[in-house]
Amino acid sequence: MKTDVLAELAATLEQRKNASADSSYVASLHAKGLNKILEKVGEESIETIIAAKDAITSGDKSDLVYETADLWFHTLVMLSHLDLGPDAILDELARRFNLSGLEEKASRDQ
């Protein structure tokens, strides 16, 4: 699992909070504010849904990968704008996974 990419991208996104909006797409999103970032998350969500449906009919999943990357990227910008990073989400997923792991173990042990 390439979580180091997430960590490095998150570090770059933090740096962009103080960058010039003229030279950085991420800085330009921060400058436009949370509503613009949420608008992008919404747009990318819809594009991801369309790509998933198209993947079924065409059998080609490349657009789905591309649009999901756009969606993940914009959610990372949203989290960064609110002073959160991917670790918060990974910790929550790990917590849920560990909980379900414990439940599975308990049902096996019964």
Residue 81 touches ligand PRT, criterion: CB under 6 A = no
**Window 39-58: residues binding ligand PRT (CB under 6 A):** 40, 43
Which is nearer to ligand PRT, 24 or 48 (by Cβ)?
24
**Window 9-38: residues binding ligand PRT (CB under 6 A):** 9, 12, 16, 24-27
Q: Which of 74, 86, 85, 87 is nearest to 30 (CA)?
A: 74
Residue 60 and residue 44: Cα distance in Å, rounded?
A: 19
Residue 13 and residue 2: Cα distance in Å, rounded?
A: 17
Residue 73 touches ligand PRT, criterion: CB under 6 A = yes
Q: Which of 53, 60, 90 is nearest to 72 (CA)?
A: 90
One-letter amino acid of 98? N
**CB 89 within 8 Å of CB 79:** yes
Which is nearer to ligand PRT, 70 or 87 (by Cβ)?
70
Which is nearer to ligand PRT, 22 or 109 (by Cβ)?
22
Which is nearer to ligand PRT, 25 or 97 (by Cβ)?
25
CA 9 to chain centre: 11
Q: Which parts of this chain interact with ligand PRT (CB under 6 A)? A: 9, 12, 16, 24-27, 40, 43, 70, 73
